[in-house]
């Protein structure tokens, strides 16, 4: 039976890589539907995303590719299907609401396992879409104790990514390490400027002429993980910081949606503290 796969390869650069990889596809009579390549010359690192179609065994194809790639190559053969996400939220509805609507319209490219929030504010919104909602208050708990309860809830599900849809709590290194390269955040600023709390007030005080939003992977460095998508909105002296905040919300949900589309369709490679996107 004919099927398709996304083949993702990143490894040390070497001569003949494209030829040898393409030969593996040719020998199995696979059609190359799309192909993108990039070499980071500073790090001598090679990236390749190829969509192939035909009759193949996924594990046999993966084994054949490993034989022609450098020893430490990271190779994935992914048959396209909707991924699963868990969403963490607090009180703000715009980013979460946009994801829920895209999911309901069949445009998200993922199923939503559940929404977990540290406030009960968004329960009615989420349950309107027949998605499980869990309220896990922080109360007087330490961050570690609160995250332990969240992890217990998260780990009852099988999922690919955790999406922070305006989840307004800083995650501990222990939590981040448990889900390395699986947590995606939307930050209400054009990183790396104005990191941390109330960036719109920071931007207003600085007299900026543009504001923005940044979607990125979460690491131990606050708001400094590899960037997936960004956008900007022009502002001027007539904007108060609250006007900037209102304008920025539209940018936030658009940028988060764009980032999720890239990640969920396997178009993003992490390259140190940067990304390569095809």
Query: Which member of 205, 223, 231, 266 is catalytic?
Result: 223
> Which residues, in sequence order, are CB contacts of 62 under 8 Å at separation 6+?
75, 77
How long is the chain?
278
Buried b / exposed e over 251-273, threshold 16 CB at 10 Å, is: bbbbbbbbbbbbbbbbbbbbbee
Q: Retrieve residue 254's tokens.
A: 């658009």
Q: Retrieve residue 232's tokens.
A: 């900007």
The pairing of strands 183-187 and 110-117 is unpaired
The pairing of strands 3-12 and 161-164 is unpaired
Question: Does 223 participate in catalysis according to the annotation?
Answer: yes
Distance in angstroms (rounded) separating the CA atoms of residues 61 and 54: 12
Which residues are catalytic, by number? 223
């Amino acid at each position: 039976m004919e099927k398709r796969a996304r083949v993702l390869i990143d490894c040390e650069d070497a001569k003949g890589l494209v030829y040898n990889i393409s030969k593996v596809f040719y020998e199995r009579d696979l059609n190359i539907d799309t192909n993108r390549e990039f070499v980071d010359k500073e790090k001598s690192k090679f990236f390749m995303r190829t969509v192939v179609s035909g009759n193949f065994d996924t594990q046999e194809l993966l084994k054949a590719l490993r034989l022609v790639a450098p020893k430490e190559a990271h190779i994935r053969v992914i048959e396209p299907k909707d991924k699963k996400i868990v969403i963490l939220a607090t009180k703000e509805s715009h980013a979460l609401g946009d994801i829920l609507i895209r999911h309901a319209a069949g445009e998200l490219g993922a199923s939503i396992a559940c929404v977990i929030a540290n406030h009960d504010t968004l329960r009615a919104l989420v349950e309107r879409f027949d998605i499980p909602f869990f309220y896990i208050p922080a109360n007087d708990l330490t961050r570690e104790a609160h995250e332990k309860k969240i992890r217990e809830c998260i780990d009852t599900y099988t999922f690919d990514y955790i999406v922070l849809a305006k989840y307004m709590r800083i995650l501990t290194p222990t939590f981040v390490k448990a889900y390395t390269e699986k947590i995606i955040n939307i930050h209400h600023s054009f990183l790396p400027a104005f990191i941390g709390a109330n960036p719109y007030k920071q931007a207003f005080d600085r007299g900026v002429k543009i504001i923005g939003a940044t979607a990125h992977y979460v690491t131990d460095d606050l708001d400094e993980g590899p960037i997936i998508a960004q956008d900007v909105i022009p502002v001027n002296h007539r904007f108060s910081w609250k006007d900037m905040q209102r304008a920025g919300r539209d940018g936030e949900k658009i940028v988060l949606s764009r980032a999720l589309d890239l990640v969920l369709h396997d178009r993003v490679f992490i390259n140190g503290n940067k990304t390569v996107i095809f």
